[in-house]
Chains A and B, each alone.
Chain A
Amino acid sequence: MFETVIGLEVHVQLNTKTKLFCSCPTSFAEHQNSNTCPTCLALPGALPVVNKEAAIKAMRFANAIEAQIDEASRFDRKSYFYPDSPSAYQITQFYAPILRDGKVTIDLADGTQKTIRVTEAHLEADAGKNMHEGAVSKVDLNRAGTPLLEIVSAPDMRSADEAVAYLKKLHATVRYLDISDANMQEGSFRCDVNISIRPKGQEAFGTRVEVKNINSFRFVAQAIAYEVQRQTEAYEDGVYEQEVVQETRLFDVNKGVTRSMRGKEEAADYRYFPEPDLRPLIVTEEMKAAARELPELPDQKVARYTSEWKIKRDDALVIVADKNLANYFETLVAEGAAPKQAVTWLTSELTGRLNKLSKSIEESPVEATTLATLIKRIEEGVISGKGGKELLDHMMENNERDVDALIEKLGLEQVSDDGAILAMIDEILADNEDKVAEYKAGKEKLFGFFVGQVMKASKGSANPGKVNQLLKERLS
């Protein structure tokens, strides 16, 4: 039996307005090379000046994961030639990163928790983009110089599930901190996965393979599954030494396999050395104070939802994993919906309908304030749960948002008026004298039949609670 050992390096693009070392905007999808200047194009003589906000965002992350902030971190040059980096080096933090020794707690499927250590996180400049077209490559340097926080975990994860749980927790944390958009499609949250296997009980790590640049949780799980299988088979076939070498591989999303980048990597020698154009990044009291201002983080939200609002932990975890879902949920409760009802209506009814339309919560056609009113009308007995679903269906497709007017228009109002319900009950009992006699003789199962008949007579509009109560009175 083998044990899988996984460590992750996550590149989080910080959502500052300007780049790490110059004042160019970081806006996405702009005209090619329009967000560039002599500094990010590495023209001779242009010098880097550190963006204070990028440093504060990194420090805020440090505080969120209880890491140590280096009050005098340093920058270094990582040498490499590639057209996406006009300077032929990347400015990063190799020797003295801005933070060390943090921790991220993940929730596992069996209800237990596990702490994953974050070894360090360093500030660095992103590269530009190349597009390959036949005999030439086109280079767009708008992204060159955008601030990245590279978050390096210890090799603490033992399965793809743990790796994905860690990534999701990190993703939620940076989104709540508002230090990154963490948009995986746009590449502002991407990760490298280090994977090795070792026989159970062996202390020494196996040979580590790095799978680079994966931009979805699903692909991370697939890449890990593939690597574990490849490495295990090589071990069992006695060719581990030959087949599993320390190398960089790429994940082919179409075929679900990883491929060696060997050859390209052989010459890699980054020759790190201290960046001569930058002095140490000395954090000031003002920066420390700004970095201490933290919003409510995922763990705190889960604790509050479960203790204050008595919500199941599993439900709280689902809601909190997505900042927009949590915002929506909190609005529902703030607008007066009972928390437990709000969970059901949000996570199953609304989310189910949105999934069918391939829409995310922030694209929901029904706003939280509207859904809150709907939930309240159910609690007040004005409409039934079934009526609520019908009303939600209607609103998903139409623009009218006056809940009370719609209840009337769609005829969803429940009859709770005793007189009207009693009239129906009496009619039904009169029409079914034989069954009433059977019931009174002890055939209690017939009670359900009477309820059904009354509901049918009211075309579903009678309040079932009332019907039950009044029927019992009449039949006793």
Chain B
Amino acid sequence: MQIDSELLTKLETLSHLRVADDKKEEIMRQLTDILGYVENLNELDTEGLDPFFSMLEGGTPMREDVTHKEENVAREILAHAPMAEEDFFIVPAIIE
């Protein structure tokens, strides 16, 4: 699959990332290479296989509905946030 500039623009929008103009050619080539590599998987015959097939067995573990709170954990995470104030995380204004 070929990644063209239109698809790259869409990927930039979806990932909230911006690729510098002088890097675009290189990134498109690399992404195309990666997809080409992954396409090797198409050689496998998956006809009739459950799409959710997994090598793992059994269900997800579950917990009882019992609260557990460690007071300092949230504070510590807030202290490491790029910006926090009055125990709120602060982010650039979201334009509604």
Q: List residues of chain A with CB under 8 Å of any chain B CB.
A: 16-18, 23-25, 31-38, 41, 43, 49-55, 72, 74-75, 79, 81-83, 95-96, 130-141, 267, 269, 271, 274, 278-282
Contact (A279, B60) CB under 8 Å given A37-B70, A136-B90, A271-B14: yes
Task: Say yes or no: A134 contacts B90, CB within 8 Å.
Answer: no
Q: Are B65 and A51 in contact (CB under 8 A)?
A: yes
Across the A-B interface, the 6 shortest Cβ-Cβ residue pairs: A282-B59, A53-B65, A23-B68, A138-B88, A279-B60, A52-B62
8 A Cβ contacts from B56-96 to A: 56, 58-71, 73-74, 77-78, 83, 85-94, 96
Contact A18 B93 (CB under 8 A): no
Q: How far is the CB of A423 from chain B (nearest CB, A)?
A: 71
Q: Distance (Å) between the CB of A24 and the closest chain B CB?
A: 7
Q: Does B23 interact with chain A (Cβ within 8 Å)?
A: no
Q: Chain B contacts of A41 at CB under 8 A?
A: 74, 77
Contact B63 A23 (CB under 8 A): yes
The listed residue (A38, A49, A131, A132) touching B73 by CB distance below 8 A is A38
CB-defined contacts of B56 to chain A, threshold 8 Å: 279
Measured in the bound complex, the distance between the Cα atoms of B70 and A138 in whole Å is 23
Contact check, A137 vs B90: say whether CB atoms are below 8 A apart: yes
Q: How far is the CB of B52 from chain A (nearest CB, A)?
A: 6
**Please, which residues of chain A bring their CB within 8 A of the CB of B86?**
32, 138
Q: Is there an interface contact between B78 and A49, defined as CB atoms closer than 8 Å?
A: no
* B89 adjacent to A141 (CB under 8 Å): yes
**A269 adjacent to B77 (CB under 8 Å):** no
Say whether B14 contacts A25, CB under 8 Å: no
Q: A51-B65, A83-B94, A130-B94 are in contact. Are A279 and B73 (CB under 8 A)?
A: no
Please determine whether A74 and B52 come into contact, CB atoms closer than 8 angstroms.
Answer: yes
A33 close to B78 (CB less than 8 A): yes
Please tell me if the beta carbons of A52 and B63 are within 8 angstroms of each other in the complex: yes
Partner of A36, one of B58, B65, B74: B74
User: What residues on A are CB-neighbors of B65 within 8 Å?
Assistant: 16-18, 51-54
Q: Give chain B residues whose Cβ lies under 8 Å from the Cβ of A133.
A: 93
Query: In the complex, how many angstroms separate the beta carbon of A127 from the nearest chain B beta carbon?
Result: 13
Given A35-B69, A52-B64, A81-B16: A72 and B59 interface contact (C-beta under 8 Å):
yes
A240–chain B nearest beta-carbon distance, Å: 28
A54 to B64, CA, bound (A): 10
Nearest CB of A to B64, in Å: 6
Closest chain-B Cβ to A31's Cβ sits at a distance in Å of 7
Given A17-B65, A49-B63, are A38 and B91 neighbors across the interface (CB < 8 Å)?
A: no
- Inter-chain pairs besides A130-B94, A138-B90, 15 sampled, C-beta below 8 Å: A18-B65, A18-B66, A23-B69, A32-B87, A33-B89, A34-B74, A38-B77, A41-B74, A130-B91, A267-B13, A271-B14, A274-B52, A279-B54, A279-B61, A281-B60
CA separation between A83 and B95, bound complex, in Å? Answer: 12
A135 partner residues in chain B, CB cutoff 8 A:
92-93
Give bound CA distance, A269 to B86, whole Å: 34
Considering only residues 39-64 of chain B, those with a C-beta below 8 Å from chain A are 52, 54, 56, 58-64
Q: Is the CB of B91 within 8 A of A278?
A: no
Are A136 and B61 in touch, CB under 8 angstroms? Answer: no
In the complex, chain B residues whose CB is within 8 Å of the CB of A52: 62-65
Are A43 and B88 in touch, CB under 8 angstroms? Answer: no
| A137 touching B92, Cβ below 8 Å | yes
Contact B63 A136 (CB under 8 A): no
When the two chains form the complex, which single residue of A43, A75, A137, A274 contacts B91, counting CB atoms closer than 8 Å? A137
B12 to chain A, nearest CB (A): 10
A79 CB to nearest B CB, Å:
8
Q: Which listed residue (A24, A51, A131) contacts B69, Cβ 8 A?
A: A24
- Give the shortest distance, in Å, between A145 (CB) and chain B (any CB): 13
> What are 10 A-B residue pairs whose CB atoms fall within 8 Å in the complex?
A50-B60, A75-B60, A130-B94, A136-B92, A138-B89, A278-B60, A280-B59, A281-B60, A282-B58, A282-B60
In the complex, which residues of chain B have a beta carbon less than 8 angstroms from the beta carbon of A49?
Answer: 60-63
Partner of A82, one of B68, B78, B83, B94: B94
With a cutoff of 8 Å between Cβ atoms, the chain A residues found around residue B92 in the complex are 135-137
CB distance from A68 to the nearest CB of B (A): 18
